[in-house]
Amino acid sequence: MIASLRVLGSLLAREHEIADIIVDLGITSSLLIALSHPNFKIRKEAAWVTSNISAGTVKHINVLISCGTIEKIIELSTMDVFEVRQECMWALSNAVNWAKDNKVIEKLLEIGIIETFCSMLGCNEPQTLIIIMEGLKELLRYGKEHSVYLMS
């Protein structure tokens, strides 16, 4: 299963048209299953695949939100082993940075993305901290541009 997820993730990292086809085939339901697998290595690869989808188009991010994949990523990012949590941060940061759609950002805020980012600020891995800070920076930019108070 790990090899299949790696091939899938590599394909998704290419052109958005390829990702469109894969997302349209319903890969997100299979990702939800993989994100719940008892083997953390499978969860890690599934989170990586999710991060490649979330680095796509607004349509891709909307599919991840509507099918519950982003909510599962948020859940894993607060309770799983560090390697999985790290991949989850990539998926969430990509979603924020590639969304470019007010409704998508608002939905991400609604489901707790700020709290999720903040929960990982204590990690000691510089690249993960950079990814988190990029996501928070984009959310702050959004809040400033739209006069939105981001914390409840």
Q: To the nearest 10°, the Cα dihedral for 68, 54, 82, 46? A: 70
Q: What is the mean pLDDT of residues 64-71?
A: 96
State yes or no: pLDDT of 152 exceeds 80: no
Query: How much is the pLDDT for 149?
Result: 65
* First CA to last CA distance, the chain: 40
Q: What is the mean pLDDT of residues 9-21?
A: 89
Retrieve residue 127's tokens.
């690249």
CB 62 within 8 A of CB 106: no
Query: How much is the pLDDT for 144?
Result: 86
Q: 10 Å Cβ neighbour count for 30?
A: 15
- pLDDT tens per residue, range 80-126: 999 999 999 999 999 999 998 889 999 999 999 999 999 999 999 99
User: Does domain 2-145 correspond to CATH entry 3.40.50.970?
Assistant: no
Query: How much is the pLDDT for 150?
Result: 59
Report which of residues 152 and 89 the model is more confident about. 89
- pLDDT tens per residue, range 16-59: 889 999 999 999 999 999 999 999 999 999 999 999 999 999 99
